[in-house]
Homo-oligomer: A and B are copies of this chain.
């Protein structure tokens, strides 16, 4: 029996880069949080602390900043692709790279004035293995609520079930969704805007008998609308809103006053994909396949 090193990766996480593009009076603002993870032949750094193959995480941070100036940031997918390719293509010891980016949105107030918008964060994760690149786009922290058109009944009852069936409830969630692109080229921002819009529209228009049903409708709407996308993964916390019992105070409560609960919460997660989707490769995990070792 020997003890060995398995999968490993390292990188600089959460580099906060803000870029101002000045087009005369009118400025454009891009506000990002960039995380890099790199894998390759790093055995000696683990075994003996020999760092001959280690590109410092400080250098990765510098590269994130320098690329923002050298190449601009048209979309986070393109910027991520450039960074991911750079690391593997220039460092012989590296075999795989992953660049994960969050983009915070701002509303325009004037030619060079902005207010941070809090209605969801755009995300992208690009993975590259020296040969192929995978792009996953997405959104997180997008909080949606339907104040009706949601029911929940007909569920399993066992010894521990006390939940009442309901024909009218609030359905609220904080969407985290990621969608995989078939290829590594695209009109990234249009694709993002329309995928996000499809998600939201499906949430709004689905008469829901379960959050699972809403999840599936959301994933399907993205794929129906965007042929360049092949798979959607959704993580939907069920942000419970419980009707308050006002009877002790001589009051009825016809779906009007709710307590918004913090914890616990339901968590519904699911994947919707095309049946001819190409294999995901490393799109979803830098260490994909290792469970089969």
Shortest beta-carbon distance, A131 to chain B, in Å? 17
The complex is assembled from copies of this chain, and their number is 4
Does A258 contact B209, Cβ atoms closer than 8 Å? no
Does A21 contact B288, Cβ atoms closer than 8 Å? no
Does B210 contact A241, Cβ atoms closer than 8 Å? no
Shortest beta-carbon distance, A241 to chain B, in Å? 6
* Interface flag for A284 (CB, 8 Å): yes
Contacts of A80 on B, CB cut-off 8 Å? none
* Interface flag for A220 (CB, 8 Å): yes
Residue of B nearest to A289 (CB): B291
Contacts of A289 on B, CB cut-off 8 Å? 291-292
Contacts of A274 on B, CB cut-off 8 Å? 1-4
Contacts of A3 on B, CB cut-off 8 Å? 219-220, 223-224, 272-275
Interface residues of A, dominant DSSP: mixed
Assembled-state Cα–Cα distance A236/B253 (Å): 33
Does A16 contact B263, Cβ atoms closer than 8 Å? yes
Shortest beta-carbon distance, A75 to chain B, in Å? 17
Contacts of A15 on B, CB cut-off 8 Å? 259, 263-264
Known A-B contacts A116-B118, A274-B2, A288-B291; the reply to A27 vs B147 at CB < 8 A is yes
Does A115 contact B143, Cβ atoms closer than 8 Å? yes
Instruction: Bits for A1-39, please: 1 = Cβ < 8 Å to B, else 0.
Output: 111111111111111111111100001010100010100
Which of these binds chain B: A59-67, A122-130, A187-195?
A: A59-67
Which residues of chain A in 125-180 are interfacial with respect to chain B, using CB atoms and an 8 Å cutoff?
A: 141-149, 151-163, 170
| Interface residues, chain A, with chain B CB atoms under 8 Å away | 1-22, 27, 29, 31, 35, 37, 42, 45-59, 61-63, 65-66, 68-70, 90-91, 93, 106-107, 109-110, 112-120, 141-149, 151-163, 170, 200, 203-205, 208-213, 215-216, 219-220, 223-224, 231, 237-238, 241, 244, 246, 248-249, 251-276, 279-281, 284-285, 288-289, 291-293
5 A-B residue pairings within 8 Å (CB atoms): A3-B275, A18-B259, A56-B161, A117-B119, A118-B119
